[in-house]
């Protein structure tokens, strides 16, 4: 009877060692995963910071662009001679007579003569 008890204790000792090894393996995996999670969180914080900065810049551009387009619309209405408020387009409506010029904007290109190409019959 003494012998079976020793064999049982030896078997338990082997399974305890296996359990400890498995536990250590799980702890290592968890620490690796914790490292990955920490890395992903830091990346997320960085990207959120970049996103906040871009949103701030976009807000600044919108703040400048909106008054500019409103002033442009006002000037177009004045130049068209429609000072009556009833004839003004509704907010958000498309403005008429808004075009892009094909003329050069750069001062240096203003005085540059256009290249003339003769037409051939051939």
CB 77 within 8 A of CB 83: yes
Report CA-CA distances (Å) from 112 to 25, 103, 105, 106, 116: 77, 12, 12, 10, 12
Judge whether 46 lies within some domain.
yes
Model confidence pLDDT, tens digit, residues 10-57? 566 678 889 999 999 999 999 999 999 999 999 999 999 999 999 999
Judge whether 6 lies within some domain.
yes
Domain interval for residue 15: 2-79
Report CA-CA distances (Å) from 109 to 21, 104, 114, 121: 79, 6, 10, 31
Bigger pLDDT: 43 vs 86:
43
Model confidence pLDDT, tens digit, residues 90-106? 555 555 665 666 665 66
Residue 96 C-alpha from the chain's centroid: 33
In the prediction, which pLDDT does 32 show? Answer: 97
Judge whether 112 lies within some domain.
no
Domain count, the chain: 1
Residues 6+ apart with CB under 8 A from 73: 95
CB 80 within 8 A of CB 97: yes
Judge whether 70 lies within some domain.
yes
In the prediction, which pLDDT does 39 show? Answer: 98
Q: How many CB atoms lie within 10 A of CB 77?
A: 19
Judge whether 67 lies within some domain.
yes
CB 36 within 8 A of CB 30: no
User: What is the value of pTM for the model shown?
Assistant: 0.42
In the prediction, which pLDDT does 78 show? Answer: 73
DSSP 3: H
């Amino acid at each position: 009877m003494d012998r079976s008890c020793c064999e049982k204790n030896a078997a338990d000792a082997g399974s305890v060692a296996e359990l400890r090894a498995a536990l250590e393996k799980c702890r290592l995996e968890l620490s690796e995963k914790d490292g990955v999670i920490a890395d992903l969180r830091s990346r997320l914080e960085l990207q959120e910071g970049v996103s906040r900065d871009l949103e701030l810049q976009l807000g600044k551009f919108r703040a400048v662009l909106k008054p500019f387009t409103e002033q442009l619309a006002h000037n177009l209405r004045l130049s068209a001679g429609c000072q009556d408020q009833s004839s003004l387009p509704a907010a958000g409506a498309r403005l008429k007579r808004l075009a892009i010029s094909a003329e050069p904007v750069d001062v240096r290109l203003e005085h540059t003569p256009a290249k003339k190409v003769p037409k051939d019959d051939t």
